[in-house]
Amino acid sequence: MTAPAGWRPVLSRSALLRHDPVRQADLLIVPERIVVLNEEAAAIVGLCDGRRTVADIVAEIAAEFPGGVEADVVEFLDRVRAEGWLR
């Protein structure tokens, strides 16, 4: 599966992005699960606001984390979408 060209990802209603000051980490809180995100994953999820397209998100992440991240960002979005955490 690959992200549709015009898709504007947004967190599902059952998912929350929160920062845990104790762990000094960003967390994706979903039903019956807490996912600790690394810096890049948290940045990607943070951009999933329903306004940005996948291409917009890739461009912003590439500016922040140089080094050919397009395929990684799309793959990550596909995985998170498959889990039902993005719509």
Q: Give the model confidence (pLDDT) of 32-69 as tens digits.
A: 999 999 999 999 999 999 999 999 999 999 999 888 88
Cβ neighbours of 44 (radius 10 Å): 25
d(CA 35, CA 33): 6
Whole-number pLDDT of residue 79: 95
Q: Domains of the chain by range and CATH? A: 16-83 (1.10.10.1150)
d(CA 4, CA 78): 10
pTM over 0.75: yes
d(CA 24, CA 69): 24
